[in-house]
Amino acid sequence: METEDKHKLVVDEWFRNGYNGAKAWQSQYPESKIRSAAAEFVRMLTNVNISDYKKAKENELLEASRFTHLESLNYAKNAIYADVTDVIGLQADEIKELPLQLKQLISEVDIKQRVMLKEEGVEVVQEHIKIKFFNKKDALEMLNKNIGFYKEDNSQKGKLISTPVREWVDPPKHDEA
The residue extents of the domains of the chain are: 3-65, 70-136
pLDDT of residue 160: 59
pTM exceeds cut of 0.75: no
- The CA distance from 24 to 17, in Å, is 7
Torsion of CA 65, 69, 75, 76, to 10 degrees: 140
Mean of per-residue pLDDT scores for the chain: 84
Q: What is the CA radius of gyration of the chain?
A: 28
Closest C-alpha among 8, 36, 38, 35 to residue 20: 38
Give 59-78 pLDDT, tens digit per residue: 888 788 777 777 878 888 88
